[in-house]
């Protein structure tokens, strides 16, 4: 059955007349009869009894009519919403899937600018690890419009845009003596790491290997699910953490944490915005994508 057949059926049901339905729809009466006949053939049910000049809906027709009204209403709502995009393209809801640092720090820091640009848009941000964000966007019908991750994305389904530079630093309790450690000392420190699917952890392990340190030789005392958890543990002397420099600016400034320079090790990375290539975005999502460089002003500084 198709939507036109349901529309014709609903008009016949409401008027209990083929001729009146034909007049309302601007169709000939034979055309109306043909639509109803095709619908009855598809359903294998008789929908109307013809008693003299009267058209009497069957019990099956009454069931179908309840659903037809809802379907036709949804069609009108969909058309109205689509037409509203032409009049107000920057309205509605934008759903963002973000990894820990973009979700906890980058997006909140630019939220005021987002509200200035899109005053009639509601932003919904949910936080996952980087691999999960990428997996969500690759789903057949992704539940999110755009993603932000701490990994370089190389997937034919996805388009990525660099938005911000970052550095991963070693943090220590504020009472730690000295401002640096040698690279050789790192495996001796009690370290607190992120979970396996974290972009931060993957970047740290890759850079340690380049520096000649096997991550398996590290003295990892705990794996925690967020930078916030690592920071809290380090503040209380549970160990040392490798976290985003961007995420500890306030604590370092307030003297609650200390950043230690690791001689012989520099861990740089970038954050990326990600979206599907094969899905046409809503106008507001397209505009957001085009303005990301201005939102995250230092996104092109440094190298990845």
Fold of 3-87: Arc Repressor Mutant, subunit A (1.10.10)
E-assigned strand segments in the chain: 48-51, 54-57, 92-98, 121-127, 146-149, 158-172, 180-182, 191-194, 220-224, 240-244, 258-263, 267-276
Q: Is the pLDDT of residue 239 over 90?
A: yes
**301 confidence band (pLDDT: 50, 70, 90):** very low
What DSSP character marks residue 155? -
**293 confidence band (pLDDT: 50, 70, 90):** confident
Residue 44: the pLDDT is 94
Using one digit for the tens of pLDDT, what is the confidence trace for 88-105? Answer: 778 888 999 999 999 999
Q: Is the pLDDT of residue 304 over 50?
A: no
CA distance 165 to 271: 6
In 3D, which of 29, 28, 63, 27 has the Cα closest to residue 43?
Answer: 63
Measured between its terminal Cα atoms, the distance across the chain in Å is 55
Using one digit for the tens of pLDDT, what is the confidence trace for 102-135? Answer: 999 999 999 999 999 999 999 999 999 999 999 9
CA R_g for the chain: 30
Q: Is the pLDDT of residue 247 over 70?
A: yes
Which of 27-31, 243-247, 266-270, 297-301 has the weakest average pLDDT?
Answer: 297-301
Q: What is the pTM of this model?
A: 0.70
Q: Is the pLDDT of residue 214 over 60?
A: yes
What DSSP character marks residue 252? H
**79 confidence band (pLDDT: 50, 70, 90):** confident
**219 confidence band (pLDDT: 50, 70, 90):** very high
Q: Is the pLDDT of residue 299 over 70?
A: no
Q: What is the CATH class of 166-268?
A: alpha beta
Percent of the chain with pLDDT over 70: 97
> Rounded to an integer, what is the distance from CA 291 to the centroid of its chain?
17
Alpha helices in 90-224 (DSSP H): 100-101, 107-117, 130-137, 199-210
Mean pLDDT of the chain: 90
In 3D, which of 222, 219, 254 has the Cα closest to residue 238?
Answer: 222
Using one digit for the tens of pLDDT, what is the confidence trace for 134-183? Answer: 999 998 888 899 999 988 898 999 999 999 999 999 999 999 999 999 99
Q: Is the pLDDT of residue 10 over 90?
A: yes
285, HSE (Cβ side, Cα atoms, 13 Å): 19
Q: Can you read off the two tokens belonging to residue 75? A: 């069609």
Do the beta carbons of residue 160 and residue 138 sit within 8 Å? no
> CATH 3.40.190.10 region(s) of the chain?
92-164+270-295, 166-268
> CATH 1.10.10.10 region(s) of the chain?
3-87
Pick the CATH number of 92-164+270-295 from 3.40.190.10, 2.40.160.20, 1.10.3720.10, 3.50.50.60: 3.40.190.10
Residue 84: the pLDDT is 67
Mean pLDDT of 262-278: 93
């Amino acid at each position: 059955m198709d939507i036109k057949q349901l529309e014709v059926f609903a008009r016949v049901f409401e008027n209990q007349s083929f001729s009146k339905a034909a007049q309302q729809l601007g169709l000939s009466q034979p055309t109306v009869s043909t639509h109803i006949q095709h619908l009855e053939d598809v359903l294998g049910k008789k929908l109307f009894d013809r008693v003299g000049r009267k058209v009497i809906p069957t019990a099956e027709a009454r069931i179908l009519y309840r659903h037809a009204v809802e379907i036709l209403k949804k069609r009108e709502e969909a058309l109205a919403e689509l037409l509203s995009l032409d009049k107000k393209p920057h309205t509605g809801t934008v759903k963002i899937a973000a990894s820990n640092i973009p979700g906890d720090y980058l997006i909140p820091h630019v939220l005021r600018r987002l509200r200035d640009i899109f005053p009639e848009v509601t932003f919904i941000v949910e936080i996952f690890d980087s691999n999960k964000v990428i997996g969500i966007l690759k789903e057949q019908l992704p539940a999110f419009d755009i993603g932000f991750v701490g990994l370089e994305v190389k997937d034919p389904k996805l388009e990525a845009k660099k938005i911000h530079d970052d550095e991963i630093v070693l943090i220590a309790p504020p009472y730690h003596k000295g401002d640096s450690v040698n690279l050789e000392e790192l495996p001796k420190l009690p370290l607190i790491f992120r979970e396996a699917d974290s972009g931060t952890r993957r970047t740290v392990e890759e850079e340690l290997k380049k520096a000649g340190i096997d991550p398996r030789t590290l003295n990892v005392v705990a794996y925690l699910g967020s930078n916030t958890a690592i920071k809290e543990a380090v503040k209380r002397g549970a160990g040392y953490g490798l976290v985003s420099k961007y995420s500890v600016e306030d604590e370092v400034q307030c003297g609650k944490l200390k950043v230690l320079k690791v001689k012989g090790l520099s861990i740089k990375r970038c954050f990326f915005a990600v979206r599907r290539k094969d899905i046409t975005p809503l106008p507001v999502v397209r505009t957001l994508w085009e303005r990301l460089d201005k939102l995250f002003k230092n996104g092109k500084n440094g190298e990845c």
